[in-house]
């Protein structure tokens, strides 16, 4: 076997970037298997790649002899390997290559720019559009830096809602499926005793909401001694008035030398100012406000004149469009219940979720929606932060959001990771000003809904 093909490139982060810098067209898929294996064999001395080797040893041990000649061919012809922009870390690539998992091979811009700095242990502030892979970016960075021989909490991730925390937990488990990573979601509305039991048994990563995480720290059920990574997802919301004090309280209990990652689709100046208090020379990966609109999502409005006409307009849409899955946003919990009753009264099958529902009910509803057994979900901004349901093709703003920043989070529920999506905004005379503000805020033109909207879904 050739043992020095990659020469000096086998230093820790050079190899990281090598692994992260390969994207292959379909015809190279077979060669990618060989090349990935060859890289890992030749960097066995790098202890941080042990988990890569675990993945590959499990899946490829019985194929080594069969592939040996091909490995040597790939090394001899290494110049043929197409190096392009950043892709995913190895477990993700392996799931895609060997198992056909539904994970994109081509990285988003935030993944291209964000994974390596986070893997190097740097403090990072990252901003990108919804649906472009921010969650996978910091999950990948965390998984690369964990010491799997120490079953203690080494990474703490905070999210503003229970649903988002549980979504992050699922992404972390999926990416770390073959690594033996232990992840737990600490969120309100669940059993405190169960949290204490799981934490006492040992986990590598805790994902949670601020209230429950602080409670676990205060009870000393969550020990901060080994925590070396601290991530705030949807940071603008986390650092808003409702969460700021809790974030500070938690941060004061963490070790002094800790890596901090701040991630969000919007990053207002006041949020950036607050982060200076607990970040050390962060790498900033930001986008201009007029670059925040989502590629692939067509945005339209419908003039409904009066509030009373919205329901008829909504029913007309659902009777004429073939929709895979959709989310309908309203501004109050009471209106969620009202609209759900009205839609069901007209024989439309819909689900609903909001903050007044108990956690178990919300979990069941979200599980049904993700599985596709429920196709229409009515909700408030509770769901506008980071919930990733790939099949959503349509978002309807029955009510326009009260803040322009929330518009991006809402419409980002469709068109996830480059897929097609449509956002339709119901606009009354009272909403004209907000529609104008949204267009000005994001430097976009939202056009009137065309007659052929069905062709866009």
When pLDDT is cut at 50, 70 and 90, the band that residue 383 belongs to is: low
Query: What is residue 379's DSSP assignment?
Result: E
Query: pLDDT, tens digit, for every residue of 29-65?
Result: 444 444 454 444 444 334 434 444 444 444 444 343 3
Give the fold, CATH level 3, of 109-287.
Answer: Rossmann fold (3.40.50)
Query: pLDDT, tens digit, for every residue of 234-269?
Result: 887 777 657 888 888 999 999 988 999 998 877 777
Backbone torsion region of residue 83, taken as left when φ is above 0, otherwise alpha when ψ lies between -120 and 50, otherwise beta: beta
Average pLDDT for 152-174: 91
Say whether pLDDT at 417 is over 50.
no
292-456 classified as CATH 3.40.50.2000: no
Cβ-based burial of 395 (10 A; exposed 0-12, middle 13-18, buried ≥19): buried
Q: Which two tokens stand for residue 86?
A: 């950043």
Query: pLDDT, tens digit, for every residue of 74-133?
Result: 434 433 332 222 333 444 444 433 333 444 445 666 777 788 888 889 999 888 666 667
CA of 74: how far to CAs of 39, 40, 155, 293, 303, in Å? Answer: 11, 14, 37, 41, 60
Average pLDDT for 378-396: 75
Beta-strand ranges (E) seen in 279-374 are: 283-285, 297-305, 325-329, 351-353
Q: Which of 405, 451, 56, 366 is nearest to 189 (CA)?
A: 366
Say whether pLDDT at 272 is over 50.
yes
Question: What does the pLDDT read at residue 427?
Answer: 95
Per the model's pLDDT, the better-predicted residue between 383 and 165 turns out to be: 165
Question: What does the pLDDT read at residue 40?
Answer: 45
Question: What does the pLDDT read at residue 22?
Answer: 41
* DSSP run (H or E) holding 231: strand 229-233
**Which of 29-38, 221-230, 384-393 has the highest average model confidence (pLDDT)?**
221-230
CATH 3.40.50.300 residue ranges in the chain? 109-287, 292-456
Q: What is the pTM of this model?
A: 0.60
Query: pLDDT, tens digit, for every residue of 172-216?
Result: 998 887 788 999 999 988 899 999 999 999 999 999 999 999 999
When pLDDT is cut at 50, 70 and 90, the band that residue 373 belongs to is: confident
């Amino acid at each position: 076997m050739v043992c020095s093909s990659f020469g000096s490139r086998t230093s820790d982060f050079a190899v990281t970037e090598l692994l992260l810098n390969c994207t292959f067209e379909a015809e190279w898929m077979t060669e990618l298997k060989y090349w990935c294996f060859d890289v890992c064999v030749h960097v066995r001395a790098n202890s941080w790649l042990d988990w890569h080797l675990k993945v590959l040893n499990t899946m490829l041990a019985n194929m080594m002899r069969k592939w040996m000649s091909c490995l040597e061919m790939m090394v001899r012809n290494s110049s043929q390997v197409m190096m392009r922009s950043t892709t995913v870390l190895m477990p993700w690539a392996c799931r895609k290559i060997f198992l056909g998992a539904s994970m994109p091979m081509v990285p988003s811009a935030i993944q291209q720019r964000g994974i390596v700095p986070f893997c190097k242990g740097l403090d990072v502030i990252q901003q990108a559009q919804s649906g472009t892979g921010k969650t996978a970016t910091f999950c990948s960075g965390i998984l690369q830096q964990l010491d799997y021989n120490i079953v203690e909490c080494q990474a703490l991730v905070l999210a503003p809602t229970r649903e988002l925390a549980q979504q992050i937990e699922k992404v972390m488990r999926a990416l770390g499926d073959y690594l033996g990573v232990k992840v737990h979601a600490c969120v309100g509305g669940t059993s405190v005793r169960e949290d204490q039991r799981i934490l006492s048994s040992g986990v590598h990563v805790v994902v949670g909401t601020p209230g429950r995480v602080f409670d676990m720290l205060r009870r000393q059920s969550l020990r901060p001694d080994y925590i070396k990574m601290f991530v705030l997802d949807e940071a603008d919301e986390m650092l808003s008035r409702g969460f700021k004090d809790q974030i500070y309280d938690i941060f004061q209990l963490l070790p002094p030398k800790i890596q901090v990652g701040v991630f969000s689709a919007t990053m207002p100046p006041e949020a950036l100012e607050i982060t200076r208090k607990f970040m050390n020379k962060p790498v900033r990966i930001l986008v201009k406000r007029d670059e925040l609109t989502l590629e692939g999502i067509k945005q339209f409005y419908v003039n409904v004149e009066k509030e009373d006409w919205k329901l008829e307009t909504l029913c007309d849409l659902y009777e004429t469009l073939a929709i895979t899955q959709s989310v309908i946003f309203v501004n109050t919990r009471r209106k969620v219940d009202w609209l759900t009753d009205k839609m069901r009264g007209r024989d439309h099958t819909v689900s609903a979720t909001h903050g007044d529902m108990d956690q178990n009910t919300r979990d069941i509803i979200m599980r049904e929606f993700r599985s596709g057994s429920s196709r229409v979900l009515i909700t408030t901004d509770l769901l506008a932060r980071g919930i990733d349901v790939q099949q959503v093709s349509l978002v309807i703003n029955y009510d326009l959001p009260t803040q322009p920043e929330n518009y991006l989070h809402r419409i980002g529920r469709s068109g996830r990771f480059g897929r097609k999506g449509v956002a339709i905004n119901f606009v009354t005379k009272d909403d004209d000003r907000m529609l104008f503000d949204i267009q000005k805020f994001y430097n976009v033109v939202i056009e009137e809904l065309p007659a052929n909207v069905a062709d866009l879904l």
